[in-house]
Structure 1
Amino acid sequence: MNTQHTAVDTVRPVLHYTARNTWLNDPNGLIFHNGLYHLYYQNNPHGSTWGNMSWGHATSEDLFLWTEQDVAIRVDPYEEIFSGSIVFDAHNTSGLGTTLQPPLVAIYTSAYTKASPHSGLQAQSLAYSLDGGYTWEKYADNPVLNRSSANFRDPKVFRYDTGTESFWVMVAVEAVDHTVVLYRSEDLKAWQYLSSFGPANATGGIWECPDLFPLPVDGDPENFKWVLVVNLNPGGPNNGSAGQYFVGDFDGTTFTSHTTVTDGLQDPTRLSEYQWLDWGRDYYAAVSFNDVPDGRRIMVGWMNNWDYANETPTGPWRSQMALPREVELATVAGQPRLIQRPGAEMSTHFEPTPFHNSVALPIAEGTHPLEAEGPVLLLEAEFTAGTATEFGLIVRKGAAEGTRIGITPALGQLSIDRNNSGQVDFHSTFPSIDSAPIVETVGKYTLQVVVDHSSVEVFAQAGTVSLAELIFPLEESTGVSVYSLGGTATLEKLHIYAPKNPSWN
């Protein structure tokens, strides 16, 4: 939530972070430090479209209520501040702090301007903070890693511990080469090349914003796998921007994927076989927080798509972050796959509505309104298929609009139809029906749906499938319906929760 939200701004979300009156895109520097979640992000401090790239900054105690802070690292005449990450240098390996006052260190991409001696290049640089992440000083000897490349960017850095030694690892990309490059360092200043990964699977656009982290499979602490995330634009499963991931092993030098489907050039006929973070149109540049307590892995993505990002109908702010998602690895159809759900803290902001159905409800053919409404809702539904060709929910429903969340059993398909979701004519590619594969589980289809003023995020089959989509409905379109096409279905359960804070509506 943006703490400056007002009731007049009817499409500004409350659960999804937005800047007060400027543009934002990729999340950067995600870290939990001194009891707070710090969200840095690509920000234009001077306008509501992309440009003047700097790092904005927001803080939160619970991942959902955010306070916007001052711009953290600003553009200057010589460089724009592209994406990167932040680490807590607890042992002051960098020498940028002291033993008693160890620094936070930001590793970011310097996108050098024509005024710079490095004009046209992208290289990795440092900035450091001694006050917990609020004010930053650029390192005097930047850049610290320069490959003389125009497309070397988006460093994610973490501490790797073998048990006998520990060191910093950087995961970055050569964007147009579809290659992830890995480096190591003892002090965050001098970097040694380790290995490369790619091209592999989806290569229909440039690669950006990588991440690499370990997770236990099925919660087994004796069976860890590593997840390599690579975002790309365009080339997503439903067009435009998207994020993919690979599961495998990392030995401190090389990442080895066990889930690669195709090497080299993308095969467009096999997009559905790749592992996607999200199948919707609006989930990109997703990366995870460093140093979250209890070993939780929490990711945040940018909720937009480069096809139309600069033209979405909001102002003076533009763009929002997706919900923070807790991710786990589970065995699905014999393979390790990411499970994604909204961070558990979200539930503390909701309470049951009077409509809280737990009795099976047959759905006759047609559309049937429910006794629940609101621009901000959490819905948990369970369906069984009958004779219907398609069935599901309609949210933000009004007299002539609504966003349809449908299941088509014969196709094994979950879809979001936003052709009539409200204002859709601001860009030719925005009206869409976007789909994902879904497999019936023990005869059931389960959906968790989060509706938040100008977005819908769907988590299906216990988080094995997700779709994130922007919508821009009329303020008065707040209804919820169930529907069935070509026959009947059964709504086995439906729990609807409304926000505890009435001002969110």
Structure 2
Amino acid sequence: MKRVLLTLTVLLAVTLMEAQVTPIVLGDSHAMLKMMQGKKFVLLPVQEAEDIASIAVLDNSNNMVQRLNVKLAIDRVDYYVPYELKGAALLDIEFHGDRRQKGAVGEFVCWKEIEFSDTFDTTNRERFRPVYHHTPLYGWMNDPNGMFFKDGTWHLYYQWNPYGSQWENMHWGHSTSRDLIHWETHPIALEPDWLGSIFSGSCVTNGDEVVAFYTSAGMHQTQSMAVSKDGGRTFEKYSGNPVLTTSDVPDFRDPRPFWNEDIKAWNLILAAGQEMRIYSSKDLKEWKYESSFGKGYGNHSGVWECPDLFKINNKWVLICNINPGGPFGGSATQYFVGQFDGHKFTCESMPKVTKWMDYGKDHYATVSFYNAPENRRVVMAWMSNWQYANHVPTKQYRSGNSIPRDLGLFTCGEETYVSVVPSKEMLTLRGAKVKKPTEACEIIIDTKSMTEIVLSNSKGEQVTMVYDAQKQTFSMDRTKSGKLSFSEAFPCVTTAPTYGTIKQLRLFIDRCSIEAFDAEGKMSMTNLVFPSEPYTNIKIKGGKATIYEIKY
């Protein structure tokens, strides 16, 4: 018995020694950590309230192979993030912030909690994670990038931080879908290099190749290119990068190339401060500046970002995402309608006219899929707002995408507007009719001249929506919707013009979001909500509701 107890004691001691790594402390803010060989991942403990630790990853020859910024835990662990070792031998770590308040580096809790493992558990731990919206398995996500359709598959890349659930370390994450609803996660598509982090951009299909254009965000922002020969799964960066540079504006980013059949050449549009610049090319490598658009047009309260330019019927639509400057604060998507001859975009509206694609608080970085089938123009947006995106009440991941939407055009008075309807693939999710709302459902509202809809739960939390035919407005009030304290900018009432009457509304509810659409496409509104329990009650004045469960 004594021998057995002694053996167990020794095993326990060895286990504890393996569980707690020993740093090499070199100063008040500097430490190194040797990597355990034979394991796939080092699991880094994160504490979001702390300052960033800058980590240089060195190989066995002391060559630096990567830099990353991680909020390593000082006195508690919020969650873990994995770093795939792939030959990494040493982490050279510099802590930032006031060490007099944080204590001695050697006493930080991260050393006790760092783990080495062959696996990383991505099982969902978040009750607010959507049921049928795209989200990353873990980490931070913002702008959708590089979306295209090829060989029956929809490809969605996205701004991703694999090393924390707040903005940092920008990579391109990658997901694919056969139906725009169910998404499969793939390995990282593009990693930062010595030109900088990988900011937003787009993909085009060129024969058998997929060509990605993205912003290299280093000391300055430049445009780079990468080519995939396996359908967009892996990319090789172009040896001639960067392919586009400038010296006159610091914000020079988000390239969007496309084949223009009208001129039998490639065009590219990108954001430069508070204007969009347009280029042309015969080979995707050499680009000629053609013109700029934006001075005096639309909203200029913030930086212009994430452009798109495409034809619908006989008119062209220029999408311009802006932050800040949205109709209810923070980030939002504006657009312009006009003509484009391959060289210059001409807006058909007066300069002072501003048109918003969505009148909620949580619809940004809207861009379309390249080469969508049936000549469709399918878009997705980042479903959050820069005012509070880093602080919404989730930890394992932050942010999802909107449901896919199809764009068209309609007229009201003398103006042409973009119509927005849920993509037809959303109909495949409709299940049986139910009597009460659930955490994931679609609600059809047949409206009258004045319709009020109240979604609520047993905690007294509620969202109130009002359609007023006389005023031609639709509003959504989330000031009592649930968790609000994470940001003063979150409680709000958003109001949209309806450009005529609404006969039917479609509401998509999914745990932490409500997306409202005029069934004819003349109005859309996207807002996040964080109720302590699902809204299972609905009251309607002046209308009739039909509720469908979601089959996912």
Q: Is the shorter-chain TM-score for this pair beyond 0.5, marking a shared fold? A: yes
- Distance apart, 1:334 and its partner CA: 3.9
Distance 1:105 1:211 in 2: 17
The higher-RCO structure (CA 8 Å, 6+ apart) is 1
- Corresponding residue number in structure 2 for 1:394: 454
**Does structure 1 conserve the Cα–Cα contact (< 8 Å) formed by 2:228 and 2:235?**
yes
- Superposed, 1:45-56 pairs within 5 Å as 45-56=162-173
Aligned to 2:285: 189
Name the SS of the counterpart of 2:479 in structure 1: coil
> CA–CA distance in 1 between the matches of 2:243 and 2:311?
26
TM-aligned CA distance change 1:246 to 1:73, over 3 Å: same
2-structure distance, mates of 1:19, 1:296:
26
The 8 Å contact of residues 374 and 396 in structure 1, kept in 2 or not, is answered as no
Which residue number corresponds to residue 449 of structure 1? 507
Residue pairs, 1:27-176, within 5 angstroms: 27-90=144-207, 102-112=208-218, 120-148=219-247, 149-162=249-262, 165-175=263-273
Q: What is the rounded CA distance, in whole Å, between the counterparts of 1:325 and 1:66 in structure 2?
A: 16
Does 1:211 pair with 2:305? no
CA distance 1:238–1:461, change in 2 (3 Å): farther
Q: Secondary structure at the match of 1:400?
A: coil
8 Å contact 2:449–2:468 — kept in the other structure?
A: no
Structure 1 pair 337/227, CA: closer, same or farther in 2 (3 Å)?
A: same
Change (3 A) 1:7 1:211: closer
Measured after TM superposition, the shift of residue 15 of structure 1 is 1.9
Equivalent residue letter for 1:379: I
The question of whether the paired residues in 1 share the 8 Å contact of 2:421 and 2:519 is answered with no
Task: Confirm or deny: 8 A CA contact 2:154 2:177 kept in the other structure.
Answer: yes
Matched-pair contact (CA < 8 Å) for 1:246–1:260? no
TM-superposed deviation, 1:141: 1.4
Q: For residue 487 of structure 2, what is the aligned residue in structure 1?
A: 427
Q: Distance in 2 between the 1:243 and 1:64 partners?
A: 23
For the residue of structure 2 that corresponds to 1:69, the secondary structure is strand
Once the two structures are superposed, the pairs formed by residues 17-36 of structure 1 within 5 Å of their partners are 17-36=134-153
Please report the RMSD computed on the Cα atoms of aligned residues, expressed in angstroms.
1.7
Distance 1:436 1:185 in 2: 40
Runs of 4+ aligned residues of structure 1 deviating over 6 Å after TM superposition are 4-7
Matched with 1:265 is none
Give the structure 2 partner of residue 225 of structure 1.
Answer: 315
Maintained 8 Å contact 2:320/2:334 = yes
Question: What residue is the counterpart of 1:202 in the other structure?
Answer: 299
1:410: Cα distance to partner? 5.2
Once the 2 structures are TM-superposed, how far is the Cα of residue 462 of structure 1 from its aligned partner?
1.7
Percentage of matched positions with identical amino acids: 40
Deviations 1:179-205 (A, max 9, x none): 110000111111001111012111111
Which runs of no fewer than 5 residues in structure 1 stay unpaired? 91-101, 113-119, 217-223, 263-272, 355-370, 485-489
Letter in 2 for 1:414: F
Contact 1:127/1:137 (<8 A) preserved: yes
CA distance 1:341–1:284, change in 2 (3 Å): same
Give the partner amino acid of 2:258.
F
Equivalent in the alignment of 2:529: 471
Q: Does the Cα contact within 8 Å between 2:459 and 2:532 map onto a contact in 1?
A: no
- The structural deviation recorded for 1:7 is 7.3
Is 1:288 paired with 2:368?
A: yes
Q: Which one-letter code corresponds to 1:205 in the other structure?
A: G
Offset at 1:300?
Answer: 0.8
1:469–1:86 CA distance, 2 compared to 1 (3 A)? same
TM-score between the two structures when normalised by the length of structure 1: 0.82
- Aligned mates of 1:440, 1:137 — CA distance in 2: 50
SS of the residue corresponding to residue 426 of structure 2 reads: helix
Aligned pair count reads 430
Answer yes or no: is 1:495 the counterpart of 2:546. yes
* Cα distance in structure 2, aligned partners of 1:317 and 1:187: 39
CA distance in 1: counterparts of 2:243 and 2:123, whole angstroms? 43
| Cα deviations by residue, 1:251-274 (Å, 9 ceiling, x for unpaired) | 111110002342xxxxxxxxxx52
Shift of 1:33: 1.2
CA contact (8 A) 2:437 2:538 kept: no
Matches within 5 A, 1:291-440: 291-354=371-434, 371-385=435-449, 391-409=451-469, 411-440=471-500
